[in-house]
Structure 1
Amino acid sequence: MAPNPSRRRESSRRAILTAAFDLLQEVGYAKLTIEGIAARAGVGKQTIYRWWPSKGVVILDAFLMLNEDGAGEPVLLPDTGDLHADLTAVLRATVVELTDPRYDQPMRALATEITHDPELAAAYAERLDKPMRHAKRHRLRSAQRAGQLAADLDLDVAVDIIWGPVLNRWLQRSGPLTSEYADSVVAAALNGLHPRPRNSRVGRTADGGAI
């Protein structure tokens, strides 16, 4: 039986992405080269350039390869009806992923390259950020419908408020990234995002006291 070309291509693709991911952790992004990836994967560098325009896009695909078990399925966040518990679980999982040595280097490399490479930024936004942001909005919209969030809440702003602090602390190394920090972010965000009763405005007397 003749070899299947598509299977051979997939085998080469995975070998290249695995080599890129392994080398990134060994030598760092600055010293990572297409030549080095090709040598580790046992392919010609022209094969890599035929499929990827830059090493940044190779790393993006290598990172996405780690999550291919659910490929083709829409990203969904847990929806138990308890928004606080669900967001706490998701942010804690985010902390675990961001602090995992296997993911730290690839994600930092991507974050750095995205600021300099518009093509990579567009690929990242379309293939990784867009599906995740959609899933986050979907979970918050469910809470909105259940009356757990204000009906007029801008969900994109809410996503930034909830997930932004964790990502910024990780990226800037501005403090310890722990499950306790994730818990405090959820608590602070939801305390400010809960719908307020219509008559919750507090009146003031002439001398400044509450009515």
Structure 2
Amino acid sequence: MERDSLSFPDTGDLRADLLTQMEALLRGLFGSPRFGRALIGLIADSHHHVDLAQGMQEVLFQPRIDDGRARLAKAREAGQLHADADLGLAVELLYGPVYYRLLLHQGGLHSPAELETLVDHALRALAPDTTLE
């Protein structure tokens, strides 16, 4: 997976941008069984090799986490997310289920509707509070 293929788009439509970015991630993880298995192996090995874990964090995971937080911060500033939404937790709400399925051999998100449901649930949890208006 190329870095650019996993960068967050910014069209102004947060939901569409998340779906686009996550679809690219899912294609890489589940559309390419070798890549998915290789990543699982690296994650497993990283539990025994501190240098590998640090390298994966610095090169593979942290740049994407930072991109996600930046895109979500922009959405929060635009009022698309709750003003005090925890952006680190937001990233985990979105991507935790993907890695859960990958690491525990639960299969990918099998349809666009499943991905839409995941994104919609996460966005609902992060939505601005409109009850005070």
Provide the TM-score with structure 1 as the length reference: 0.57
Q: Where does residue 188 of structure 1 map in the other structure? A: 121
Q: Deviations over 1:75-134 (max 9, x none)?
A: 741010000111111112211111112412221111111111111101111111111111
What SS class does the counterpart of residue 106 from structure 2 fall into?
Answer: coil
Alpha carbons of 1:145 and 1:189: their partners in 2 closer, same or farther (altered >3 Å)?
same
What SS class does the counterpart of residue 161 from structure 1 fall into?
Answer: helix
CA RMSD of aligned residues (A): 1.9
Shift of 1:169: 1.0
> C-alpha distance in 2, partners of 1:183/1:92?
10
Q: 1:135 aligns with which of 55, 60, 67?
A: 67
> C-alpha distance in 2, partners of 1:165/1:95?
11
**% identical equivalent positions:** 35
Provide the TM-score with structure 2 as the length reference: 0.88
Q: Where does residue 112 of structure 1 map in the other structure? A: 44
- Maintained 8 Å contact 1:95/1:182: no
> C-alpha distance in 2, partners of 1:90/1:76?
7
> C-alpha distance in 1, partners of 2:72/2:120?
15
What SS class does the counterpart of residue 8 from structure 2 fall into?
Answer: coil
Are positions 1:82 and 2:17 aligned together? no
> C-alpha distance in 2, partners of 1:76/1:93?
9
Q: Where does residue 2 of structure 2 map in the other structure? A: 67
Written as runs of structure 1 = structure 2, the 5 A alignment for 1:138-177 is 138-177=70-109
Count of residue correspondences:
130
> C-alpha distance in 2, partners of 1:106/1:168?
16
The structure number with the bigger radius of gyration is 1
Q: Which runs of 4+ in 1 moved over 2 A?
A: 174-181
- Maintained 8 Å contact 2:98/2:108: no
Q: 1:97 aligns with which of 4, 28, 32?
A: 28
The runs of 5 or more residues in structure 2 that have no matched partner are none
